[in-house]
């Protein structure tokens, strides 16, 4: 059965490109739909830091009133992804550079636990799934599909958590790393970056395949330390997208 959108604000069904939008989750409000899509646009850097958020234009593009758009914007503000300035406007927030080290450390701690457990309990089928994902990453790299590579990278880390028996680790990591992900999108086009990531992922897989928890932990630690180095470099080359101190 096709789910329908709850039009509690009396607006007509949302349309984009002539297609009626339907929520994938029963009972989801249009505010939730707008929130998810705007959030994805911001995290993927399709909406750049400092870019204005035109609520009226967004409402028109969805065919809804401004009420659900305003609700979505307030949720994004709570997540630190937009800034609302009364009498001035709403803007995509700059990436808070000072918060990234803590997020990376939290992620590193959780992922070290993830791969330790994964190395102890991975089955032959699990190893095949990991290697299939590595092949997908390579196809995305060769094709130059940065968005596809990012999604396959996300799937790789989610699979590690699933294999570990603690999939909730990845749920927590996703909540922590939102600002880091914005920065990571800037690193992907750098020459050699994708090849380096695949090499680091491969080292993790080989350690898990050997059922060597300590080597798996060292491999994922090296991978995430490399991310921190990449973040430092990209924040220097795209300084206009970052804020270095709390405002």
Q: Count CB neighbours of 34 within 10 A.
A: 26
109 and 63 within one domain: no
- Residue range(s) defining the domain that contains residue 89: 15-93
Which residue, 170, 160, 154, 151, is CA-closest to 129?
Answer: 160
Whether residues 161 and 183 fall in one domain:
yes
Same domain, 219 and 191: yes
Number of structural domains, the chain?
Answer: 2
pTM of the model: 0.81
Query: Among the three residues 68, 93, 118, which one is the final residue of a domain in this structure?
Result: 93
Q: At what angle do helices 168-176 and 178-187 cross, to 10 degrees?
A: 70
Which CATH number does the domain housing residue 52 bear?
1.10.10.10
Query: Do the Cβ atoms of 200 and 207 come closer than 8 Å?
Result: no
Phi, psi torsion values for 29, nearest 5 degrees: -85, 165
Same domain, yes or no: 62 and 141: no
What does each of the 247 residues of the chain score in pLDDT, given as a tens digit? 433 334 434 444 444 444 344 444 433 488 999 999 999 999 999 999 999 999 999 999 999 889 999 999 999 999 999 999 988 899 999 999 999 999 999 999 999 999 999 999 999 999 999 999 999 999 999 999 999 999 999 999 999 999 999 999 999 999 999 999 999 999 999 999 999 999 999 999 999 999 999 999 999 999 999 888 888 889 888 999 999 877 6
Distances (CA, A) of 87 to 27, 57, 84, 122, 178: 34, 18, 9, 56, 28
Residues 102 and 87 in one domain: no
Least Cα distance to 31 among 3, 79, 83, 69 occurs for 69
């Amino acid at each position: 059965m096709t789910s329908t959108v709850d039009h509690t604000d009396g607006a007509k069904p949302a349309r984009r490109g002539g297609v009626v939008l339907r929520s994938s989750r029963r009972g989801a409000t249009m505010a939730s739909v707008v929130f998810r899509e705007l959030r994805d646009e911001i995290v993927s850097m399709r909406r750049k830091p400092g870019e204005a958020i035109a609520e009226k234009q967004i409402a028109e593009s969805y065919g809804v009133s401004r009420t659900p758009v305003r609700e979505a914007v307030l949720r994004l503000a709570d997540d630190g992804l937009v800034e609302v300035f009364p009498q001035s406007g709403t803007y995509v927030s700059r990436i808070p550079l000072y918060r990234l080290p803590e997020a990376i450390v939290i992620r590193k701690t959780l992922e070290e636990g993830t791969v330790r457990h994964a190395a102890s309990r991975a089955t032959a089928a699990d190893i095949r799934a990991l290697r299939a994902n590595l092949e997908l990453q390579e196809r995305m790299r060769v094709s130059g599909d940065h968005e596809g590579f990012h999604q396959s990278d996300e799937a790789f880390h989610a699979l590690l958590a699933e294999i570990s028996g603690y999939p909730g680790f990845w749920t927590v990591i996703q909540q922590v790393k939102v600002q880091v992900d914005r920065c990571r999108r800037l690193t992907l086009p750098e020459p050699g970056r994708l090849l380096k990531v695949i090499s680091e992922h491969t080292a993790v897989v080989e350690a898990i395949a050997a059922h060597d928890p300590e080597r798996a932990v060292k491999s994922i630690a090296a991978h995430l330390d490399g991310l921190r180095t990449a973040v430092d470099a990209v924040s220097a080359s795209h300084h206009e997208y970052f804020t270095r101190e709390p405002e």
